[in-house]
Chain A
């Protein structure tokens, strides 16, 4: 069974192995034991409420209970830009017009911005490649929206995600080469690594602060602004299905887009319903396609857990859970749970049942 739960100390080795395998694309999870340990500590402090909930880093592990190991990670940064400066470029338009000259020219322009400051970010998604498919990625990503929904007061009304921008197999980013590297004599990979190690704000401070007029950049760089890396296209599609949209901000290094949504309009949030758990002795076939499953969460802050069950388990007021599932969620009969469809299709079914 695959269960979402808070990241814990024992996950370090699994996490490190995953980060190593993922390579250099994932800057938020560099293969660096010290850094990963720090993240685990931070997540523990957050769930144990030893720091202000608004300042927390909520990291979840996807655990394969049979194998007893973490096979995925996902996270929510409650607020960005509070203890360092959070930078983006805002893609806007400068219009240059004169009736007398018959001139009306629109110039796309990048403005350095801190507009995302104090906003919640969903981040750090990584799923072990052996577990791709079968809705595991959806569980890993969407369980976060259930958490956001339950504990809205700890998060901003709007949440965003930074999507990885375009770079080639050698790790060369056209935007970095045309812009960042002119101000900062460093390869993209190196800068990206540094930024994953927590130096992003330092690097950003070396970047140009005045507006950048896009016509002054080569076509290769202009073409990737607001575009995602091929590997990230499925993640973008998933977020778009949840109601996330490009908000006009792009990453200052690789030009990847920022997508955002108001928590109350996120599909998973809108489609969530409350039930009470009933532990059933009846045999339940858990192995059904992703489209026929629903996510079920235990509604706990400190020990937030989510797994999936067949939609057929959902009743009018209750949801019937086999003992193994109840154990994985650490609940008993009568405990409140919250349900949300794993895939969009289930929505209709859940509604009918509800």
Chain B
């Protein structure tokens, strides 16, 4: 049986295995998941403190990390996180894609110029992050469970989270590992390839890196053609994730990732599909199989668990579970 539960200190090694070595496919797909033992242990501690409702030293806002466990083997197959406040007390950087009209009444000319503005607009929104899963589970029920369990967690701890929620989707990366958007923009200011910058980002915080980017708006027309084509486009491996989030009610707005130009999805927390359709029920044993496949969550804070099972609904808010 698949179970989503809060990450524990003992999970560090297994998580590192999933996060993989730098440069691997899964590593690439979650830059917010630390790939160093120490940083990961710290993140798990922070998550546990947050689950206990404690504020940590430094007053950082709550951050949560969950794992997907196969209860039959005890093995961990994926991770998913929530930052209650994007930026975690620091500015949260994105580019906002916007337009300027360069017009001249005298010359009778008016042309639209696309501009990327550095923005902190999503700071303090709730952020879904640190999503990783072993490749063979992509597009399975477990995949959906892992992603949506977070929303059930939000539903049952609503007061910890913001009015709006965002997710950063990884942007386009070519087969040779190059990231067109980075190569056309960020690279000039760091003199390092995307992979290296991404590792620093995981270790030092994304804000740290973002603050080294030039603070001025960037003209889209001056980016390379490949970079322009990559703006707001998801990495092909994230498409299932993207579709799942879209079913959940997330939509791409005008925000883009500052490093790879990938889309940032946004939604109103209270309008998330899973949150709206979830209902509190009382659990009962059942003698026969059958019913609908449902996500079931229970427990508060550190005792939060979420799994997937066929259940039969009954009257008066009761669930039968085989």
State the A residues within 8 Å of B (CB): 94, 96-98, 100-101, 103, 105, 107, 179, 182-185, 194, 199, 202-203, 205-208, 210-213, 215-217
What are 14 contact pairs spanning A and B, CB under 8 A? A103-B212, A107-B189, A183-B113, A184-B102, A184-B109, A199-B107, A206-B102, A206-B111, A211-B214, A211-B216, A212-B222, A213-B189, A216-B185, A216-B222
Cβ-defined contact, A183 with B190, below 8 A:
no
- Pick the contact of A210: B111, B115, B188, B212 (CB < 8 A): B115
Neighbouring A residues of B52 by C-beta, 8 Å: none
Closest Cβ neighbor of A206 among chain B residues: B102
Measured CB to CB, the closest approach of chain A to B281, in angstroms, equals 51
Cβ-defined contact, A100 with B204, below 8 A:
yes
Cβ-defined contact, B200 with A213, below 8 A:
no
Neighbouring A residues of B184 by C-beta, 8 Å: 216
Cβ-defined contact, A182 with B222, below 8 A:
yes
Neighbouring B residues of A105 by C-beta, 8 Å: 188-191
Task: Give the bracket for the number of chain B residues in contact with chain A.
Answer: 20 to 34
Tell whether B136 is near chain A: CB-to-CB under 8 Å. no
Neighbouring A residues of B208 by C-beta, 8 Å: 100
Measured CB to CB, the closest approach of chain A to B105, in angstroms, equals 9
Once bound together, how far apart are the Cα atoms of A204 and B68, in whole Å?
58
Neighbouring B residues of A182 by C-beta, 8 Å: 219, 221-222
Cβ-defined contact, A107 with B214, below 8 A:
yes
Once bound together, how far apart are the Cα atoms of A210 and B209, in whole Å?
22
Q: Which 4 A-B pairs have the closest CB atoms?
A: A215-B188, A182-B221, A206-B102, A96-B189
Neighbouring B residues of A100 by C-beta, 8 Å: 204, 208
Interface residue SS majority, chain B: mixed
Tell whether B99 is near chain A: CB-to-CB under 8 Å. no
Neighbouring B residues of A206 by C-beta, 8 Å: 102-104, 107, 109, 111
Measured CB to CB, the closest approach of chain B to A192, in angstroms, equals 14
Once bound together, how far apart are the Cα atoms of A202 and B107, in whole Å?
7
Cβ-defined contact, A103 with B222, below 8 A:
no
Cβ-defined contact, B111 with A101, below 8 A:
no
State the B residues within 8 Å of A (CB): 102-104, 106-107, 109, 111, 113, 115, 184-185, 188-192, 200, 204, 208-209, 212, 214, 216-219, 221-223
Once bound together, how far apart are the Cα atoms of A98 and B213, in whole Å?
11
Neighbouring A residues of B103 by C-beta, 8 Å: 206
Once bound together, how far apart are the Cα atoms of A342 and B95, in whole Å?
58
Once bound together, how far apart are the Cα atoms of A215 and B190, in whole Å?
12
Cβ-defined contact, A208 with B212, below 8 A:
no
Neighbouring A residues of B113 by C-beta, 8 Å: 183, 208
Closest Cβ neighbor of A194 among chain B residues: B107
Cβ-defined contact, B107 with A213, below 8 A:
no
Measured CB to CB, the closest approach of chain B to A323, in angstroms, equals 53
Interface residue SS majority, chain A: mixed
Once bound together, how far apart are the Cα atoms of A206 and B214, in whole Å?
23
Q: Which of A97, A205, A212 has the most CB of B within 10 A?
A: A205
Neighbouring B residues of A94 by C-beta, 8 Å: 189, 214
Measured CB to CB, the closest approach of chain B to A329, in angstroms, equals 44
Neighbouring A residues of B104 by C-beta, 8 Å: 202-203, 205-206
Once bound together, how far apart are the Cα atoms of A94 and B190, in whole Å?
12
- Given A202-B106, A208-B219, do A103 and B204 touch, yes or no (CB 8 Å)? no
Once bound together, how far apart are the Cα atoms of A208 and B113, in whole Å?
9
Once bound together, how far apart are the Cα atoms of A103 and B191, in whole Å?
8
Q: What would 6 more interface pairs be, CB under 8 Å, given A105-B191, A206-B104?
A: A100-B204, A182-B219, A182-B222, A184-B111, A205-B102, A210-B216
Cβ-defined contact, A213 with B111, below 8 A:
no
Closest Cβ neighbor of B191 among chain A residues: A105
Measured CB to CB, the closest approach of chain A to B113, in angstroms, equals 6
- Given A203-B107, A205-B104, do A96 and B222 touch, yes or no (CB 8 Å)? no
Neighbouring B residues of A98 by C-beta, 8 Å: 212
Cβ-defined contact, B188 with A216, below 8 A:
yes
Once bound together, how far apart are the Cα atoms of A194 and B223, in whole Å?
28
Cβ-defined contact, B190 with A103, below 8 A:
yes
Closest Cβ neighbor of B103 among chain A residues: A206
Measured CB to CB, the closest approach of chain A to B31, in angstroms, equals 16
- Pick the contact of A96: B107, B109, B190, B219 (CB < 8 A): B190
- Given A210-B219, A216-B222, A217-B222, do A185 and B111 touch, yes or no (CB 8 Å)? yes
- Given A184-B111, A217-B222, do A96 and B106 touch, yes or no (CB 8 Å)? no
- Pick the contact of B188: A202, A211, A213 (CB < 8 A): A213
Neighbouring A residues of B209 by C-beta, 8 Å: 101
Once bound together, how far apart are the Cα atoms of A100 and B217, in whole Å?
25
Closest Cβ neighbor of B117 among chain A residues: A210
Neighbouring A residues of B107 by C-beta, 8 Å: 194, 199, 202-203, 206
Closest Cβ neighbor of A212 among chain B residues: B222
Cβ-defined contact, A101 with B222, below 8 A:
no
Once bound together, how far apart are the Cα atoms of A103 and B189, in whole Å?
9
Cβ-defined contact, A216 with B223, below 8 A:
yes
Neighbouring A residues of B219 by C-beta, 8 Å: 182-183, 208, 210, 212
Closest Cβ neighbor of B204 among chain A residues: A100
Cβ-defined contact, A183 with B188, below 8 A:
no
- Given A199-B107, A210-B216, do A101 and B188 touch, yes or no (CB 8 Å)? no
Q: Which of B115, B185, B214 has the most CB of A within 10 A?
A: B214
Cβ-defined contact, A101 with B214, below 8 A:
no
Neighbouring A residues of B221 by C-beta, 8 Å: 182-183
Once bound together, how far apart are the Cα atoms of A215 and B200, in whole Å?
23
Once bound together, how far apart are the Cα atoms of A96 and B214, in whole Å?
8
